[in-house]
Homo-oligomer: A and B are copies of this chain.
Amino acid sequence: MGRLCLPSVRFNKILIANRGEIAVRVICACKDLGIRTVAVYSEADRYSSHVRFADQAICIGPAKSARSYLDVASIISAAEITNVDAVHPGYGFLSENAGFAEVCETSGLKFIGPRPEVIRLMGIKERARAFMREMGVPVLPGSPGVLKSPEEALELAAEIGYPVILKASAGGGGRGMRIVNQPSELPSLLAQAQQEASAAFGSGDMYLEKFIGAPRHIEFQLLADEYGNVEILGERECSIQRRHQKLLEESPSPAVNDRQRAEISTALRKAIAASGYTNAGTVEFLMDETGKLYFIEVNARVQVEHPVSEFVTGIDIVKSQIRIAQGETLPEILPGPVTLRGHSIECRINAENPDTFVPSPGRITGFHLPGGIGVRVDTWAYTDCVIPPYYDSLVAKLVTYGSDRGEAIRRMQRALSMFIVEGIHTSIPMHQRIMADPDFQAGNFDTNFIKRFAK
Contact = CB atoms under 8 A, between A and B. Distances in A.
A36 interface: no
Interface stretch (A253-261, A290-298, A412-420): A412-420
B410 A314 contact: no
A444 interface: no
Nearest to A372: B28
A375 interface: yes
Interface in A128-150: none
B371 A32 contact: no
Nearest to A413: B31
Contacts of A28: 372-373, 414, 418
Contacts of A375: 376
Interface string A369-384: 1011111111100110
Looking at A34, A342, A376, the one whose CB has the most chain B CB atoms below 10 A away is A376
A369 B372 contact: no
A368 B382 contact: yes
Interface string A337-348: 000011000000
Contact of A414 (B32, B374, B404): B32
A28 B416 CA distance: 11
Interface in A361-402: 366-369, 371-379, 382-383
Contacts of A379: 371
A438 interface: no
A31 B409 CA distance: 11
Interface string A208-223: 0000000000000000
A337 B375 CA distance: 23
Nearest to A33: B410
A181 interface: no
Contact size range, A: 35 or more
A251 to B, nearest CB: 14
A26 to B, nearest CB: 10
A232 to B, nearest CB: 19
A326 to B, nearest CB: 16
B371 A310 contact: no
A307 interface: yes
B373 A371 contact: no
A98 to B, nearest CB: 29
A29 B411 CA distance: 9
A314 B356 CA distance: 38
Interface in A316-356: 316, 318, 335, 341-342
Nearest 8 Cβ contacts at the A-B interface: A31-B414, A371-B377, A335-B403, A28-B372, A32-B410, A383-B383, A368-B382, A369-B369
29 contacts: A24-B372, A28-B372, A28-B373, A28-B418, A29-B373, A31-B413, A32-B410, A32-B411, A32-B414, A33-B410, A34-B410, A53-B417, A53-B418, A307-B373, A314-B341, A316-B407, A318-B373, A335-B404, A341-B341, A368-B382, A368-B383, A369-B371, A369-B377, A371-B379, A372-B377, A372-B378, A375-B376, A376-B376, A383-B383
Given A32-B411, A310-B373, 17 more contacts: A24-B372, A25-B372, A25-B373, A28-B373, A31-B413, A31-B417, A32-B414, A53-B418, A314-B341, A314-B342, A318-B373, A341-B341, A368-B382, A371-B376, A371-B378, A373-B376, A383-B383
